[in-house]
Structure 1
Amino acid sequence: MILRRIAVFIALLSGILASQLPEFAQQYRQRLGGAIDEIRRMIGDFDADVARMGLSRDQGIERLKVNADQLIRQRGQHLESDIARADKLERQLQSYAEAGPFRRLGLFASDFEPEIARRAFAQFEPAVPVTSEGLISAAGGFFAGWFLCRLVLAPLQRRKRKAVPNAARG
């Protein structure tokens, strides 16, 4: 009887936790959009600076990368990586926008930016799952937790059942 209560408790806890996945993914997407906005703002400032000098973005970056000053060379390398990162994050955000509710969860699980996810988790606020995505995630988490508990506790229940007849014989 106690094992069944433990299984129900763990199943409920799993359901509650799983119901938060869609909300966390949504808060992650918001932070992702904010990160893209900030990177694009920095790149836009650089583009404006090089345009005032009559240069293209690539020409401006190349000037930075061949500069004698190591700090300026590193800025050129960082700017190049920031541009590549912005492109990657924008593709990721576009994929989320084009995907349906459950596909977004799959995309999030398979392709997320760890630093943005860490920051989203640090600021995460749980929400009541009122979307079909949240409710189905809760049900899936409940049944997964129930199944895992039954799987783990099954050997204990078998051992308990075998012990009772042996004790009755004694």
Structure 2
Amino acid sequence: MRLLALAAGLAGAGAMAQFPEASQHYVQRLAGAVDELSVVVADFDRSAQSAGLTREEALAELSGSTFLAARNADMTRTITRYEALSSDLTLLRAAGPVERALLLPARLDTEIGRRALEDFRPALPLTASGAGFAGVGFVGGYGLLALFLSGLGRLMRRRPVAET
């Protein structure tokens, strides 16, 4: 039983140790998305400014035809996405490894996350945060399997039948 629990602990350590690097890949992808969206938004803002309009006024002028209404919706969606991703990037860059682990599920953009995981390759973490997550994973994996096997062992033991 101890050998199985040790194996579970090592598996948990290996899996959890990947989080700091995987989250770093995500933040790098997020930064790239923010950089690209900032080019589009800045270009739109420059066009609006050269026409003597604010962003909101320029968006309002995108109406009157099906194409212009669609373009308005596209730009509104792009600007909203840019602002949300920029905010997420600022928070995640400022966060430490544990705080990032807590923030990331609520801030995860699934498309960026999927792309980051496509390129991610597990590796041996040689950072303090990697070692910390490995330790948590080891304790978690070892502890959960040890508890499960202990409970299973108690259920399997024969209890003496009381004689009456």
Q: Structure 1 length normalisation: TM-score?
A: 0.84
Mapped partners of 1:148, 1:125: distance in 2: 26
State the shift of 1:106 in Å: 1.8
Give the structure 1 partner of residue 126 of structure 2: 130
CA deviation profile, 1:124-162 (whole Å, cap 9, x unmatched): 122321221110100100110011101221133234554
Q: How large is the RMSD of aligned CA atoms in angstroms?
A: 2.1
* 1:58 maps onto 2:56 in alignment: yes
Mapped partners of 1:154, 1:71: distance in 2: 66
After superposition, residues 69-80 of structure 1 pair within 5 angstroms as: 70-80=66-76
Mapped partners of 1:140, 1:20: distance in 2: 12
CA deviation profile, 1:45-100 (whole Å, cap 9, x unmatched): 22233334333322221111x222x2321221121121111111111111122223
- Equivalent residue in structure 1 for 2:107, among 99, 111, 122: 111
Mapped partners of 1:53, 1:159: distance in 2: 77
Give the structure 1 partner of residue 97 of structure 2: 101
- Equivalent residue in structure 2 for 1:44, among 29, 42, 45: 42
Give the structure 2 partner of residue 168 of structure 1: none
Higher helix proportion (structure 1 or 2) = 1
CA deviation profile, 1:1-56 (whole Å, cap 9, x unmatched): xx332222121111100000011110000000001011111112222333343333
* 1:139 maps onto 2:135 in alignment: yes
Identity %: 34
Mapped partners of 2:105, 2:81: distance in 1: 19
* 1:67 maps onto 2:64 in alignment: yes
Mapped partners of 2:2, 2:108: distance in 1: 37
Q: Relative CO higher for 1 or 2, CA cutoff 8 Å, sep ≥ 6?
A: 2
Mapped partners of 2:113, 2:83: distance in 1: 18
Q: Structure 2 length normalisation: TM-score?
A: 0.87
Deviates more, 1:97-106 or 1:135-144: 97-106
Give the structure 2 partner of residue 85 of structure 1: 81
> Aligned AA for 1:127?
A
Count of residue pairs brought into register by the alignment: 161
Deviates more, 1:141-150 or 1:88-97: 88-97
